[in-house]
């Protein structure tokens, strides 16, 4: 039994994001957000589906989603 994980799909700029999003959905990717301004799509899928996503034309990368924690605004240390 495969488990579903969260992923970030980074797109190449050679296809409209709506076309790639539709194809990802047909492949089995459950799309959460289409981030047109930065060329990324987030969503969830099993590891088996991710192997298929990487072969979709217009997909540059598929990476696991990682939590991001910004420091408090009064923190003296930045990046």
Confidence at residue 78, expressed as pLDDT on a 0 to 100 scale: 65
Mean pLDDT confidence for 50-77: 89
Q: Which residue is listed with tokens 């488990």?
A: 3
- The pTM (predicted TM-score) of the whole model is 0.82
Q: How many CB atoms lie within 10 A of CB 62?
A: 20
What distance separates the 2 farthest-apart alpha carbons in the chain? Answer: 47
**What digits encode the pLDDT tens for the residues 5-61?**
999 999 998 899 999 999 999 999 999 999 999 999 999 999 999 999 999 999 999
- CATH architecture label of 4-64: 2-Layer Sandwich (3.30)
Q: Which residue is listed with tokens 């957000």?
A: 33
Would you list the DSSP string of 15-69? Answer: S-HHHHHHHHHHHT-EEEEEEGGGTEEEEEEEHHHHHHHTTSTTEEEEEE-----
Q: Which two tokens stand for residue 62?
A: 């598929």
Confidence at residue 72, expressed as pLDDT on a 0 to 100 scale: 83
């Amino acid at each position: 039994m495969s488990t579903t994980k969260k992923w970030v799909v980074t797109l190449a700029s050679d296809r409209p994001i709506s076309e790639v999003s539709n194809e990802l959905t047909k492949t089995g990717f459950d799309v959460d957000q289409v981030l047109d301004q930065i060329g990324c799509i987030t969503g969830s899928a099993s590891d088996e589906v991710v192997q298929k996503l990487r072969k979709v034309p217009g997909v540059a990368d598929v990476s696991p989603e990682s939590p991001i924690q910004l420091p408090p605004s009064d923190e003296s240390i930045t990046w």
